Structure 1
């Protein structure tokens, strides 16, 4: 049996490539990995992220070292999040000798919420994205969060003798950051302008409250994205953003949708 450890194995990825075509992103996708993320209160939350990691490959090289992505991810000592992603990417860039590196994280994030009347506590989950690029000029960081809320139709309320149809809406905010913005900051913006926010657990007095609150705060899908955009546009920590809202209509078999892109 050959002793491979005693041999020097060829670095095939390091061969020269005669085609001389650069690749902007090469790496690994759909890596599931335990994640520790710092929250706004400086606590660490544990989650599981779907990770995509890439580097830019220069034209003269045949390939990159895929295993090094996993090595760095498994050995990185700090909780991975908004404040630590720059150091992680720089390590990727240095270890793979690349001009640019990118990481995409998508994971569930939980917030402990208190019901509006009874005060009973429960967890509500949100879907979060962290998209980060680093090259010699610095870091570009985008934070995204999907916030589920209630929307109540203004038209239905206006034309009906009683009642109004409402539905659950998924509001996505994706913001390019100039300074640290917490996941909870974006959640707060969306929930503050919705017809009503959602809760994991409600008692009967809470159900009465959220039903009546939504009725008093009707919102079209267009109202939702405009109201969120107004608040994000005033935030100096954000360079540019996209906000979208999809209403899963309760009286139609289709969704209503609106989207805004803005620079600050």
Structure 2
């Protein structure tokens, strides 16, 4: 029996007159390739959500077509390919608006500061995209671990200062460029986050490296407020960035709570 002879229940009319903002698939694990700073493909596994707007007159959407679109692009997910994926979602599902969210872990090789010993450090990343009848909206979110050392603790203590691991989340919207947008690499945002804390986090440290990182953090104390301001200043100076949100969270080592701060901003030429 062919597909043509089977009833298409999703395409039948719905009489309630209520449109659905988003309907689709979520928590889909799928192999993807993103592009690293050298333009080379980086394979990883993503958790993907895709959805479309469903007009009031249709009973349902065609769930299988979400997977068909993803297969068409062979798992290549970048700021350059997301608009194409969104366009194909709208076309294949006859929708006016489409959304996609692709969450994955991106690993960078970091060399220890003194010994040069290499090891991988993972950062959580999300590509988010929305396309409607008039425009595409793309956002890149990266969460980076950092070390922070408390300026107050350093100032009031006879020796030492409390320090902890913190996480800097940068959510960045690139500026439009031609038919696409400015290219902002994951590594670019990792660099912004690491410059904003007291010291970077490494997977592998020998004794000479540990000494270096400990003293680096002590020489560069920052409150959580300093972290978000440092990152915001760097993003405001980046001509590729249209708007951003920075969130820093410190997992306080001497308290049973976390400390956090958030800043949102826009480039001067993106202000309303």
Instruction: Give TM-score, length-normalised by structure 1.
Output: 0.96
Structure 1 residue ranges, 4+ long, deviating more than 6 angstroms after superposition: none
Q: Give the match for residue 155 of structure 2.
A: 158
Cα distance in 2 for partners of 1:166, 1:78 equals 40
Deviations 1:104-132 (A, max 9, x none): 01110000111111111111000001110
Matches within 5 A, 1:6-17: 8-17=5-14
**91, 96, 102: which one pairs with 1:94?**
91
Q: Give the match for residue 270 of structure 2.
A: none
Cα distance in 1 for partners of 2:100, 2:168 equals 23
Q: Give the match for residue 51 of structure 1.
A: 48
1:139 aligns with 2:133: no
Cα distance in 1 for partners of 2:152, 2:42 equals 41
Name structure 2 gaps, 5 residues minimum.
176-181, 268-272
Matches within 5 A, 1:162-177: 162-177=159-174
Name structure 1 gaps, 5 residues minimum.
none
Cα distance in 2 for partners of 1:189, 1:121 equals 21
Deviations 1:134-176 (A, max 9, x none): 1232311000000100000000000001100100001101011
1:250 match: secondary structure: coil
Q: Give the match for residue 246 of structure 1.
A: 249
Label 1:172 to 1:152 Cα distance change in 2 as closer, same or farther (>3 A).
same
The CA RMSD measured in Å over matched residues stands at: 1.2
Shift of 1:6: 8.0
Matches within 5 A, 1:1-264: 4-5=1-2, 8-77=5-74, 79-178=76-175, 179-264=182-267
Give the stretch that moved more between structures: 75-84 or 211-220. 75-84
2:120 match: secondary structure: strand
